[in-house]
Amino acid sequence: MPTRILIADDNALVRTAMRQVLESVGPWEVLEAANGKQAVALALESKPSLIILDLAMPVKDGLTTARELVKLMPDIPILMHTLYWSPRIELEALKAGVRKAVPKSESGVIVSAVKELLGTAAVDQAGVKVEPDVGQATAIDVAAAVESVGDKDGGTGDVPGGGRRRAS
């Protein structure tokens, strides 16, 4: 069975950029969902090895989706990749069953987080662990896609749950 990664994010640019980053560093099959409801249905159908959830999505948010997926598929690790990362959000994500939460503002950590949760790394023919170069252009593409998402809230900094995003 191929290693499948399911990405659930309501922003198509972010999903595409993340897919490109992941496909450039691993032989993974990457599936996409635009919201939590689609993510649950696709996860049940495709049995992914890892699920990456955005926090703020229409129809069903990332925390609600994580809670549901943990009940249905407890062995599949869930990674939360969110624009609204904070210690409080991370704690709530962990309580919901997410294994790791990473901020979208640090797009370079997504690959290492995925590898950590999958327990994989590239190995060369001599059996030596090799960390592939993600490539600056791909990381820049993810950062640009994330920045465009951040601009959608009109700079208010409002986050789900009534909190405020920290200024960077």
Q: From 47, 32, 48, select the one nearest 117 (Cα to Cα).
A: 48
pLDDT for the residue 130: 38
Q: Return the DSSP state at 80.
A: E
- CA angle 13/15/18 to nearest 5° reads 105
Task: Choose which CATH entry (3.40.50.1860, 3.40.605.10, 3.40.50.2300, 1.10.760.10) describes domain 4-162.
Answer: 3.40.50.2300
* Chain centroid to CA 22: 11
Name the residue ranges covered by the structural domains of the chain. Answer: 4-162
SS3 of 45-62: the string is HHCCCEEEECCCCCCCCH
The helix/strand/coil state of 117 is: helix
What interhelical angle do 62-72 and 36-46 show, nearest 10? Answer: 20
Q: Write out residues in the chain with pLDDT < 50, as ranges.
A: 121-140, 148-168
Per-residue pLDDT of 42-91, as tens digits, reads 999 999 999 999 999 999 999 999 999 999 999 999 999 989 889 999 99
Mean pLDDT of the chain: 78
